[in-house]
Each structure stands twice: as structure tokens, then as C-alpha cells.
Amino acid sequence: MDEKAEDTSLHGTSPEDEDTTASIATSKHDVEDRSIDAIPEQFLTSNGIPVDEEAAATAPAERSRSQASSARSRPMSIVPRLKRRGLFAQLTLVPEVERPYEYPNKIKWTITAFVALAACAAPMGSAIFYPALPDMSKDLGASPTVVNLTVALYMLAMSIFPLWWSSFSETLGRRNIYISSFFLNIVFSLLSGLSVNIAMLIVFRLLSGGAAASVQAVGAGTIADIWESRERGRAMGYFYLGPLMGPLLAPIIGGALTEAFGWRSTVWFLTAYGAVVFVFVLFCIPETLAKRRPGPIAQTSQPEGLSRVSTTRSVQVRSKQAAVWLKRCFIDPLEVITYLRFPAVAITVYYAAITFGSLYVLNITIQSAFSQAPYGYSAIIIGLLYLPSSLGYFAASLLGGRWIDRIMVRAAEKAQRYDANGKLIYLPEDRMRENAWISATLYPGALIWSGWTTYYGVHWTAPCVANFFFGFGSMLVFSAATTMLTEFMPRRSSSGVALNNFVRNIFSCTGGIVGQPLIDAMGVGWLMTTLGLIAWLSGNVSIYLLRKNSRKWREQMDKALNQ
């Protein structure tokens, strides 16, 4: 133990510290060397004995100020270039380090920005086709219903494929997934543009969407890898701009490209965007997943000298290995869905999914309402009307993430939650305070506001202002929910986000399909009123349940997952 401490003091970190996926160590050295996390195992004494929240509150508050930046004060332990992990890792301009928390903020924000740009690719691919659907139908000789499958199945792929990407990323690493998935995205997007019939287009659109969707889950895992809990809310807010900017900017880009060059130009744009992301990942995103501690090597006793294995035994061994490999590839990723058995995860995912589904219904409403009388705007103008929501997302990212981080600090200080070193202890449910109550009313109210102003043909500025507040309120929900999932399951951060992505994209796919028929049946006003009331009730009930039961549910989940 003394040798380990001495090695850490000399070199900044020890090899054992790299396994952030393991349970929180009970030694004093590991408590000092580990940055603040948001799980209950951090209630530890210097001897490694768990204490409850009340006992932890007795730690002196003033110690947190002197200890909070201990992780930052250590020099970075840079991995030698030839020992870096991931495909073509020697080409990265940003070095891999032993502990990603040690990166300076400049590098952290650089990685966050590139991951956000990558996360924009998949949602952009779904929305950029909207203005091109009529031309596509004529060119390929397919009915509008069949052509709509190019969007619907693309979104379905976005919900399913990340289950596998996230599972593979927890063992193969983040960088390997980024490199391989965007290479496949480039190939499939290129083949989509070369499609000669609607069947070929649908197949390769589905595959390209599944490839680009890797960042939807793995990207949030990267953010959790490099940012501490007290800073993660703001970082997650900026990251989430990527997935949200795609469906808002894509209709504008798609409309302009379709009018100027035809529908295939939208696919060439997606191919070029995927290539740019691939270059950024290749040179600027190192491996951030913590190294796993090697498990014990099974010792097999063999007689001295030559030994012969029977053919039957050899077949049995190889069959068992093949079965394990097939299970890991095809069955284990589906285990993510079983996390819905935990109430804290299920409620958080449901709340985010309702909000995300509302977003896609609103997008269809904008397209439907402003293309008809009394507005009758062109495709380009309609695309520009998506910008108010974008401004709301930007405002929430700039202000909301920082606001949520301050709320967490205030809640921890008020509860006097300190570990044995005097560091503040943050809990996931701290993110559901006044920010959550405000957003739970703000964006449903904005939906109702937008619906009735467009129904009565009020000047376009009125629904646009409503859409700005919808963007602001919904962004607060997305950021808080995604960050909470990484903290509810710190050892399975990508899996938690993949589950969220799976459910929310099913909701968004459903909203995209039933939106127009519901508009025709109910009218914009009553549809948005119904959706707003469902969103308001869902949000407030979810927040109440999380605030009341989160600690109990979290402890049960930690015990079940051995976190």
C-alpha cells in the first residue's frame, strides 16, 4: 500500500487508478485520487467504512475548498504514443492520458465540441430529407407513403443500433466505435446517393442512420469520461446542442440544396459531413474510456511434455467460445433494455422521451401550419421558422448547464454532504430542483401557446416566440435527464444513454408518423393542447417521484448492479 502511494506521488497516477469502471475503492489513497462522483458509495471514511448522509455531514465544510482541485493540481500522465489505444491512435493530436479528468479545460472543451459535431450527423440525416420527399417520389417512381419510410426506418435505426454501439464501446473503447461507425456511415451514405430504386435507398438509409447514431450514446459516455460531476451539467448541455441542431438546421439546408441541385444533393451533403467528422475523430479525439484492471488468469493444469487434445474436446471448446462471442455480440447489448426495471432510470427515460416526442410533433406542426393558409410560406421560409427553437437551445446550453451545476453545489453545501477529504458529494437527484419544475411547465405551456396562435393565424412572431421558450425549456430537460443517467449508472454511462436514446427515438418516430394525421383530425390547437397537458402532467409527476424516492431507488439499483 505504501509503495502504491509513493508511486502515485511521483508519477501522478497509478495503473490501478485507471479502472474507473470498478467500485469506488475503500482505501484512503483511492478516495484522495478519485474525483467527485455522484453515487452513494462516496460516503466513506478514511478507513473505507461506509457512512450515511448524516454522518458525512459532520465533516468540516472548509476542507472542500482546499481539496476540490487536488485532481487538477497533478500533472497529466500522458500515455506514450505507441501505447495509445484505439484505431490509428498514433495519429491523434490530442494525447491519451491515464486519467481523463486530468485534461485541462481547453482540451476538454475541444473534445466536447468535436463530439457534439459528430452527434449532429444522425439527427441531421433524418430531417434533411423532409423538403426532398416530393422530388424523391417523382424521381424514383414511388408513392409518398413508401418514400416516407426512408425517414421512418432511418429514425428506427437511430433507436436500435446505439444499443450495440454502447455495449461495444464499454469493452472496445470509444475511439474504435467512432472510427468504425463513421467510416461505415460514409460508405452507406455514398451508396444511398447512388440508389437506382426506392428499395436500395431505404436499405442504405437505414444502415447509414444506424452507423451515424453511434454518437447518440457513446458521445455522452465520452462527456462523462472527461468531466467531473460538478462540471458535467454545463458540458452535457453543450454536447446536446449537436443532436438538437440537426433536426432544426437540416430542413433549411435540405430545402436550399433540393431547390438548387435536386434531392441527391442532400445525400452528398451528408456524405461530406460524415467525412469531415471522420477526420476530426481521427486526429482530435483520443481514447477516454478508463483502462480495465486485468482479471485473474485461470490456471490450467497440464501434464509435463506433449499433451494431445481430443477432437471432441477441441470442438466443445471452440463451440463454447463461439457461443460466448455470439452472446456478447447479439444478446448482451439487449440487456440495456432490462435497466428499465429500475424506477429511477425508467422515470428519467420516460420524461426525456415525452419531451423528445413533443419536439418532433412540433416540427411537423410548423411544416404543416405555415405551408397552408393564412401563411402559405415557401419551403425556405418554413425552414427559417425552425430557428427560434434553435435559439432557445443555445440559450439553455449557455445558461442552463451552468445554472444546474450551481444548483448541485448549493444543494450539496446546504445538506453538508462531504466525504472524508472534505470534498462535496453530489447526488443525481440534485439536478431535479427549481430548474426541473420551471422546465416542466415552460415547454408544455409553449406548446399550447404555439398551437393556438398558429390555429388562429396570428402573426408569425407569436408562435416563433413560443417556440423559443419551448426550445429553452425542453433543453433543460434533455441536459438534466442525460446527465442523471450517466450518474445513476456511472460504470455503464453509455448504456444508460443508449437506453434513453432507444426509447426517445421510438417516441419521436411515433410522433413523426402520427403527427400529420392527428393535425388533420384534431386541428393544431387541440393537438398541441392535448400534448401540452400530457407533457405537463408527465413532467411534474416524474419530478415529484424522483425527488421523493430517488435515494432509495438509487441504493437498490447500486446493490443490484454492484456499483
Residue 364 near residue 516, CB atoms below 8 Å: yes
Rounded CA-CA distance 365/351 in Å is 21
Residue 523 gets the label, from left (phi > 0), alpha (psi -120 to 50) or beta, of: left
Residue 469 near residue 443, CB atoms below 8 Å: yes
Is 71's pLDDT higher than 70?
A: no
What is residue 198's predicted lDDT score, i.e. its pLDDT? 92
Helix (H) or strand (E) holding 179: helix 174-193
Tens of pLDDT, residues 105-157: 999 999 999 999 999 999 899 888 877 877 888 889 888 778 877 887 888 88
Question: Which phi and psi angles does 447 have, rounded to 5°?
Answer: -60, -45
What does the pLDDT average to over 163-167? 83
- CA 92 to chain centroid, in Å, comes to 23
What is residue 50's predicted lDDT score, i.e. its pLDDT? 44
Rounded CA-CA distance 478/351 in Å is 9
Angle (nearest 5°) at CA 496 between 492 and 497: 120
Q: Name residues whose C-beta falls within 8 Å of residue 549's C-beta, 6 or more positions apart in sequence.
A: 343, 344
Rounded CA-CA distance 23/351 in Å is 29
What cell was used for 510?
411515433
What does the pLDDT average to over 281-310? 65
What is residue 293's predicted lDDT score, i.e. its pLDDT? 61
Residue 200 gets the label, from left (phi > 0), alpha (psi -120 to 50) or beta, of: alpha
pLDDT class for 423, splitting at 50, 70, 90?
Answer: confident
Is 444's pLDDT higher than 90?
A: yes
Nearest to 393 by CA among 535, 248, 504: 248
Helix (H) or strand (E) holding 145: helix 144-172
Rounded CA-CA distance 73/119 in Å is 32
Nearest to 531 by CA among 345, 343, 363: 363
Give the three-state DSSP class for 125: helix
Q: Name residues whose C-beta falls within 8 Å of residue 97's C-beta, 6 or more positions apart in sequence.
A: 76, 77, 78, 79, 103, 286
Rounded CA-CA distance 449/459 in Å is 13
Q: Name residues whose C-beta falls within 8 Å of residue 493's C-beta, 6 or more positions apart in sequence.
A: 220, 221, 224, 225, 485, 486
Tens of pLDDT, residues 383-407: 788 889 888 988 887 787 778 778 8
For residue 97, the cross-strand partners are 78
CB atoms within 10 A of CB 379: 19
What does the pLDDT average to over 547-551? 85
- 321 vs 168, 315, 325, 328, 429, CA distance in Å? 18, 10, 6, 11, 42
Give the end-to-end CA distance of the chain in Å, rounded to a whole number.
23
Give the three-state DSSP class for 115: helix
Is 3's pLDDT higher than 60?
A: no
Q: Name residues whose C-beta falls within 8 Å of residue 77's C-beta, 6 or more positions apart in sequence.
A: 11, 12, 13, 97, 98, 99, 102
What does the pLDDT average to over 75-93? 88
On the 0-12 / 13-18 / 19+ scale of CB atoms within 10 A, 311 is exposed
Place of cell 411515433: 510
Q: No. of H helices and E strands in the chain?
A: 23, 0
H-only helix segments in 396-492: 401-414, 434-455, 461-488
Return the percentage of the chain with pLDDT > 70, whole number.
81
- 430 vs 304, 347, 424, 495, 557, CA distance in Å? 61, 15, 12, 22, 17
What is residue 200's predicted lDDT score, i.e. its pLDDT? 94
Tens of pLDDT, residues 301-349: 444 444 555 677 777 777 777 777 767 666 777 777 888 889 988 999 9
> Chain-wide mean pLDDT for the chain?
79
For residue 78, the cross-strand partners are 97
- pTM exceeding the 0.75 threshold for the entire prediction: no
Rounded CA-CA distance 479/235 in Å is 9
What is residue 74's predicted lDDT score, i.e. its pLDDT? 59
295 vs 481 pLDDT, higher one: 481
pLDDT class for 178, splitting at 50, 70, 90?
Answer: very high
Is 521's pLDDT higher than 80?
A: yes
CB atoms within 10 A of CB 91: 12
Is 189's pLDDT higher than 90?
A: yes
552 vs 189 pLDDT, higher one: 189
Ranges 40-49, 87-96, 423-432, most confident? 87-96
Helix axes 461-488, 434-455, angle to 10 degrees: 150
H-only helix segments in 194-263: 198-212, 214-226, 229-261
Residue 333 near residue 167, CB atoms below 8 Å: yes
468 vs 501 pLDDT, higher one: 468
pLDDT class for 212, splitting at 50, 70, 90?
Answer: very high
pLDDT class for 493, splitting at 50, 70, 90?
Answer: low
What does the pLDDT average to over 219-248? 83
Return the percentage of the chain with pLDDT > 90, whole number.
30
What is residue 210's predicted lDDT score, i.e. its pLDDT? 92
What is residue 356's predicted lDDT score, i.e. its pLDDT? 87
pLDDT class for 294, splitting at 50, 70, 90?
Answer: low
Q: DSSP letter for 238, please.
A: H
Tell me the residue type at 533: L
